[in-house]
A and B are shown apart, each in its own frame.
Chain A
C-alpha cells in the first residue's frame, strides 16, 4: 500500500523533484568545472552565506592565485567579499590576454590584492549585463576601468600619487585610455600626464607626457619630460629627455633615447638609436664620468635583444663592476640571460659563476653562484653562495664567509631558506677563534611590522686574560635603514679572571634604555657594573656607573661606593685625516683611606683628593689638569705627617708624568722624632726625581730652610737652620728630672745629600746665635763618674753651670746615620769665679737611632758619660 502510494506520488510530481534537484546539479557542475580549472578550497562553512577560509588555483602545478576569507553573501547578484587575494610568482607561460568569460551579474570586493612589486590594493568589481566595472585604490591613488564585453570597448582612467609608489617621490600622474578588447584583439591608446614630478629634498619639478598606442599588434610609445627632473640621491635628469620606442608583439623595431643625468658622484649619459628605418636594430652607449664614476658600456640592440658589450665601470665607494663577455638581454616581457660579472671593492672580489638572470613581466630572478675572495683590513676573506634571488627573496644553500688572519679565523654561515618575504628570517651562525680563544655565536634576524629585529648571542674569551675572562654577549636588536637599536636588556658580561697576577672580578655592561646605532654614532645609556680587582698588595673595590653616549661623544659617571670615590668622564671622538682618537675631561673626587695605600710604603690616614683634567688619546695618551689635596694625614710608619694641603698641575705625556705644585704644599706637622711644624715647599716631580723649592719648616723653636732640594741626588745641597732653641733640644730628653739643661739658640748650615734611601751631611757647621748656657745637674750617674776620677770631677764641676759665648759644632753624617761632631765650646763658669772654659770634644753617634728612639736627650747624656772626650777641658 505504502509502496504503491509512493510510486504514484513520484510519477505525478516527478517534474517537481527534477526542479528541486536542478540547483544541486548546477552546483555539482560548477564544482566540477572549478575543480577542472584548478580551483581548490579549504575551510568551507556557512554563516549567513557560504564561507571559505582559503581558496587557491593551481595552474600547471603552480599556485597562481590565493584567496583568503571569502564570503558569498548573496546569490542575485552574486555578492562576494574577500579579505585578500595574492598573485604569487608562478611561471605559466606567456599567453595572450583573452577577454573575461560570460558570468552572471556579480559584485566582488577584495580588501587587499597583493601583486609582486606593487603595493596591496583594495579592489571592487561589478558586472551587470556583461558590463564590467573595476575600481582599484591604494592610499590616495585610484584607478577605474570599464569594459563592455558585448561591444568589446574599454575605457580607463586614474591618478597615481608619486608618494604612494616611493615615499619621497613627489607629484601625480593622471592617465586615461580607451580601446577595444575582443578575442585575439587588444587595441587602444593610453595617455598620461605627469604633474610637478620630483623628489623630496630636491628643488627640481617637472611635468611629463606619455602616450602609448597598440593597434593591429603594433605598438608605439612616446615619453618626454618638460624640464629637468629630480631622481633622488641628489641626481637629476637633465634637459628635456624623450623616449621613442615602437615595434610589434614579436619585438622592438624603433628605439630612440638620449638621457643625461648628473649627481654628486658624477654624470651618466645613455644614448640609444635606430640604425635605419625599418631595420629594427641599432646601437648606443652608456657613459659614466665624474669624480666617482668612470667607464663606457657599448650597447647594441636588435628586434629581440639588447646587448651590453664587455666593459668595466668604476662606481661610488670604490666599487668596480666588470663583465668580460657580452651580456645579452632579450627585449621581451619574459626572457633570460647568462651574466658573468665581477664586482670588486678594494681588495675584495665577488664573481658570478653559472649565473642566469631571468624575468617574466615585472617578476625577475637571478640564480647561480657567487664566489667571494680577497683581503680586507689585513684579513683574508673567502666565501660563497649558491642559490636564487627573486622578488620573493633568496633560496638556496647557506651563504658562508670565512675571515682569517694571523690570529683570527671566523666563519659565518648564513642560511637563506627562510630569507624571503614577508618574514626574511635567518639565523646566522659564526664560529672561529682568536689565537687560542674560541669565538662563536648566533645572530637571529627577521622582518616584522616594518622593521628588522632579532638577537645576537656570542661567546668568547678575552685574550689578555690568562685565566677566566669569558665574554658573553646577549643583545636583542631591531631597526631599519641605518637606524639600528640594541634593545633594553642587552648585556656584555665578563667572568672573573686573571690578568697576569691581578684577579679581575666580574664585569657587566648593560643597556638600560635602547641604544641607537647609526652612521652618526651610538646614542643611549649604558650601565657598567664591575666587581673590582685584587692583587697581592692592593685591591680596588667594585665600580658602578652610567655611560651616556651621543654620537661621537659621551660621558660617564662612575662610583666606587666602598671608597665613596666619584669619577666623571666626558669624551668625544677626534678625526684628523686618517688618524682617529678621542678627547675629553675628567673629574675625580675622593676621600683618602688607608685601604687605598696598601700597595705603597705610606699609609694614607685621611684627606680629600679632587682633580680636574683634560685628556686626549691619539696614538698615545695625554692629560693635563689640576689636582688638590686637603686635610691630608699619612705616615711612613714612625714618621707622621698631618694637616697637608696643596694643589698641583699634573701633565701626562708620551715622555711621562710631570707634577708641579701650584703654590706651596703645606704640612701642619711632620713628626720625625721631633715635630716639624708649618712645613711648606713647592714641589716638582716626575715621580722618579723630586725637586723641592723654597723649603721651610719650623723645628725645635727655630727654623730650617733651603732654596732648593732635589731627591734623590748625590749633590750636597745647603740647608740653613736658625734660631734652634737649645732648651727644646734638651727637652727631648723627655725626662721629668733632666740631667742636662740647655738655653740659647743656635743656627748654621747643613749641606745635605739626599740619596734614595739615605741621608748624609758633609761640612755642616752650627754656631750659637747669642749666649748659651749649659747646666749638668747632679745625679747618681754623674756622681759616680766624678768619684772615679778627679779630672772628670773637675770637668763635671765646670760643666755643671757654664755660660757659653762661642759654640761651634762641625758636623758630618754618613748615609748609615753615624754622625761625627767636632764641638768647640768657649765660655765661663759662674760658679768657678767666672773661670774661662774652652771645651773641645768629638762626638760620634747614630742619629737615625737617636731620632727613632725619641729619647735624644738620654742618648746625648749617655754619649757624654760613655765616651772619653778627645780633648779634655782646659
Chain B
C-alpha cells in the first residue's frame, strides 16, 4: 500500500514536471528555480518569469499532492515532503536544490 502510494505520488510529480518540461528545464538550467524539501519549486534568482513559472507548477503540484493525500489517508504536507525528497533525488547535477537548513546549493 505504502509503495503504491509513493509510486503514485512520484508519478504524478514527474507528470506535473513533464507538462512544463521545457520551461521548467530551462529555468532550472539557468539557475532560476530549484527543488525544495517541502515538495515545491522555489525561486533562486527572482524574476517575474521565474515566479510565474514556479507559481504555476506549484499550483499543479499541490493539486496532485492533495489528490494523493486524499486517496491514501495522508496529509498534504506528508505527501509533499515525500515528493520533495524524490524531486531532489531526481534533480540533475548542477541544478539548485534547497537544503533542510534553507540554503540553496548546486547539486
> A residues touching B (Cβ–Cβ < 8 Å)?
466-468, 496, 498, 500-503, 534-537, 539, 598, 601-603, 635-639, 673, 849, 851-854
Contacts and interface: CB of A to CB of B under 8 A. Distances in A.
Q: Is the interface of B mostly helix, strand, loop or mixed?
A: helix
Contacts of B62: 598
Contacts of B75: 601, 636-639
A581 to B, nearest CB: 33
Nearest to A635: B70
A498 B51 contact: yes
Interface string B89-100: 000000000000
Interface string B37-52: 0001111001110011
Nearest to B71: A638
Given A603-B66, A637-B79, A503 B51 contact: yes
B69 A637 contact: yes
B66 A852 contact: no
Nearest to B76: A637
A865 B65 CA distance: 34
A535 B55 contact: yes
Contacts of A635: 66, 70, 76
A534 B70 CA distance: 27
A345 B55 CA distance: 55
B55 A536 contact: yes
B74 A637 contact: yes
A691 to B, nearest CB: 22
Contacts of B77: 601, 636-637
Contacts of B2: 849
Nearest to A603: B66
B47 A853 contact: no
A535 B73 contact: no
B48 to A, nearest CB: 5
Contact of A637 (B1, B42, B51, B66): B66
B105 interface: no
B72 interface: yes
A601 B66 CA distance: 9
A62 to B, nearest CB: 65
Given A466-B46, A501-B51, A673-B73, 11 more contacts: A496-B48, A498-B48, A502-B51, A534-B55, A536-B42, A536-B55, A539-B55, A598-B59, A601-B77, A637-B73, A637-B76
Contacts of A539: 55
Contacts of B72: 638, 852
B70 to A, nearest CB: 5
B16 interface: no
A521 to B, nearest CB: 38
Contacts of A851: 73
Contacts of B55: 534-537, 539
Give the 10 A-B CB pairs with smallest separation, nearest first.
Answer: A637-B69, A852-B73, A638-B73, A536-B54, A637-B76, A601-B77, A637-B75, A636-B75, A503-B51, A501-B43
A184 to B, nearest CB: 88
A791 to B, nearest CB: 32
A2 B71 CA distance: 133
A638 B69 contact: yes
Given A498-B47, A501-B46, A534 B52 contact: yes
B46 A852 contact: no
Nearest to B57: A536
Interface of B: 1-2, 40-43, 46-48, 51-52, 54-55, 58-59, 62, 65-66, 68-80
Contacts of A534: 51-52, 55
A503 B73 contact: no
A536 B79 contact: no
B70 A638 contact: yes
A852 B74 contact: yes
B89 to A, nearest CB: 21
A603 B62 CA distance: 10
A501 B54 CA distance: 11
A467 B41 contact: no
Contacts of B69: 636-638
A535 B70 contact: no
B1 to A, nearest CB: 6
A601 to B, nearest CB: 4
A849 B3 CA distance: 12
Nearest to A538: B55
Nearest to B54: A536
B47 A638 contact: no
B16 to A, nearest CB: 15
A81 B33 CA distance: 84
B99 to A, nearest CB: 17
B73 A537 contact: no
A467 B47 contact: yes
A639 B69 CA distance: 9
18 contacts: A467-B47, A467-B48, A468-B48, A502-B51, A534-B51, A535-B51, A536-B41, A536-B55, A598-B58, A601-B75, A601-B76, A601-B80, A603-B66, A635-B70, A636-B69, A637-B74, A639-B73, A639-B75
B73 A498 contact: no
A467 B45 CA distance: 12
Contacts of B46: 466-467, 498, 500-501
B40 A537 contact: yes
A539 to B, nearest CB: 6
Nearest to A466: B46
Nearest to A673: B73
Nearest to B67: A637
Nearest to B2: A849
Nearest to A468: B48
Contacts of B70: 635, 637-638
B34 to A, nearest CB: 11
Contacts of B54: 536
Given A598-B59, A849-B2, A636 B76 contact: yes
A550 B43 CA distance: 43
- Considering residues A500, A537, A598, which has the most beta carbons from chain B within 10 angstroms of its beta carbon? A537
A476 B28 CA distance: 48
A851 B1 CA distance: 13
B9 to A, nearest CB: 11
Q: Which of A602, A637, A639: most chain B Cβ within 10 A?
A: A637
A35 to B, nearest CB: 75
A536 B58 contact: yes
Q: Which of A496, A602, A673 has the most CB of B within 10 A?
A: A602
A637 B78 contact: yes
B47 A536 contact: no
B7 to A, nearest CB: 16
